């Protein structure tokens, strides 16, 4: 079973907890206590693979530690709140700042000295959700505005309703697919870095060989080709 770590962010009252409860427990919460931080688990089946979606809801406070280990970020706003919509841009800027603060361009010398200490910077996939789409009379943010913001920050977009379950499963299925692709790309990056260090590279190369094509020793390019083919088929 593969684990996918997802951070879910948005202003207070946009329905983050309600979305997650509908997804995980098939129940709608009309009222609940605002969340400071909580985590949830949900299994997804993709073909023959099983993924455990680990969702961290951090309210509207960004947890920059998940930039290092997370696989996806989900931004949520309410279509009934202009303020929550504007908050997304602020959260996105915080995420970009955290990414730039931990960015690192390793050299071959750095890697040979201490490969195990390198924290690989990754481009974390993002999904934007406009929640409470069932409240048509209270809407103040249009669908087009949501789409435009998604284009601006380069991410996928859904309008959802936790109350009617509209697009909830579809949206989080997209999250799982984004996690899968991100993990594959991260594995390729780690394999490439491993090839710079003779000792660690050989160790990683053997592990990739055993996983991807048992019984045959492959060169770095062959391993990367096989890994890309494996990822595209999942």
Label the pairing between strands 38-46 and 126-131.
unpaired
Claim to verify: residue 124 and residue 215 sit in the same structural domain:
no
If one compares 216 and 159, the residue with the highest pLDDT of the two is 159
On the question of pLDDT at 211 being above 50, the answer is no
- For residue 114, what pLDDT band results from cuts at 50, 70 and 90? very low
Lowest mean pLDDT among 13-22, 60-69, 109-118: 109-118
Q: What is the pLDDT of residue 40?
A: 84
Q: Which of 206, 185, 183, 205 is nearest to 195 (CA)?
A: 205
If one compares 37 and 123, the residue with the highest pLDDT of the two is 123
On the question of pLDDT at 226 being above 90, the answer is no
Task: Please give the structure tokens belonging to residue 222.
Answer: 């062959």
Q: What is the pLDDT of residue 197?
A: 41
Q: What is the pLDDT of residue 214?
A: 41
Q: What is the pLDDT of residue 222?
A: 56
Are 4 and 72 a contacting pair, CB within 8 Å? yes
Q: What average pLDDT does range 85-106 have in this prediction?
A: 78
If one compares 11 and 109, the residue with the highest pLDDT of the two is 11
Distances (CA, A) of 102 to 97, 119, 201, 224: 9, 8, 24, 26
Claim to verify: residue 161 and residue 222 sit in the same structural domain:
no
Q: What is the pLDDT of residue 206?
A: 37
Q: Which residue range forms the structural domain that includes residue 84? A: 2-182
Q: What is the pLDDT of residue 209?
A: 40
Claim to verify: residue 221 and residue 141 sit in the same structural domain:
no
CA-to-CA distance for 143 and 148, rounded, in angstroms?
9
* Residues 206/211/216/222 CA torsion (nearest 10 deg): -80
Q: What percent of the chain has pLDDT over 90?
A: 33
Lowest mean pLDDT among 26-30, 33-37, 213-217: 213-217
Q: What percent of the chain has pLDDT over 70?
A: 61
Claim to verify: residue 223 and residue 143 sit in the same structural domain:
no
Claim to verify: residue 14 and residue 77 sit in the same structural domain:
yes
Report the first-to-last Cα separation within the chain, whole angstroms. Answer: 13
CA 12 to chain centre: 21
Claim to verify: residue 34 and residue 105 sit in the same structural domain:
yes
Task: Please give the structure tokens belonging to residue 214.
Answer: 């048992």
Claim to verify: residue 157 and residue 82 sit in the same structural domain:
yes
Q: In total, how many domains does the chain have?
A: 2
Q: What is the mean pLDDT of the chain?
A: 74
On the question of pLDDT at 151 being above 90, the answer is yes
Claim to verify: residue 97 and residue 194 sit in the same structural domain:
no
CATH number of the domain at 71, please.
3.40.50.300
On the question of pLDDT at 27 being above 80, the answer is no
């Amino acid at each position: 079973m593969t684990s996918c770590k997802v951070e879910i962010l948005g202003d207070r009252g946009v329905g983050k907890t309600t979305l997650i409860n509908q997804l995980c427990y098939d129940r709608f919460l009309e009222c609940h206590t605002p969340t400071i931080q909580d985590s949830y688990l949900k299994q997804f089946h993709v073909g023959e693979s099983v993924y455990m979606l680990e969702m961290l809801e951090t309210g509207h406070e960004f947890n920059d530690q998940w930039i290092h280990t997370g696989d996806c970020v989900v931004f949520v706003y309410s279509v009934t709140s202009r303020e929550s919509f504007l908050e997304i841009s602020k959260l996105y800027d915080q995420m970009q700042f955290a990414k730039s603060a931990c960015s690192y361009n390793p050299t071959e010398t750095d890697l040979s000295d201490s490969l195990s200490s390198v924290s690989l910077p990754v481009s974390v996939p993002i999904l934007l959700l406009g929640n409470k789409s069932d409240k048509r009379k209270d809407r103040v943010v249009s669908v087009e505005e949501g789409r435009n913001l998604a284009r601006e920050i380069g991410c996928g977009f859904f309008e959802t309703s936790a109350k009617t379950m509209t697009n909830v499963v579809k949206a989080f299925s997209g999250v799982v697919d984004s996690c899968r692709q991100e993990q594959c790309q991260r594995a390729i990056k780690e394999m490439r870095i491993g090839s710079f260090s003779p000792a660690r590279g050989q160790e990683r190369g053997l592990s990739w060989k055993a996983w991807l094509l048992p019984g045959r020793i492959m060169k770095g390019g062959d391993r990367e080709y096989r890994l890309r083919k494996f990822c595209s088929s999942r």
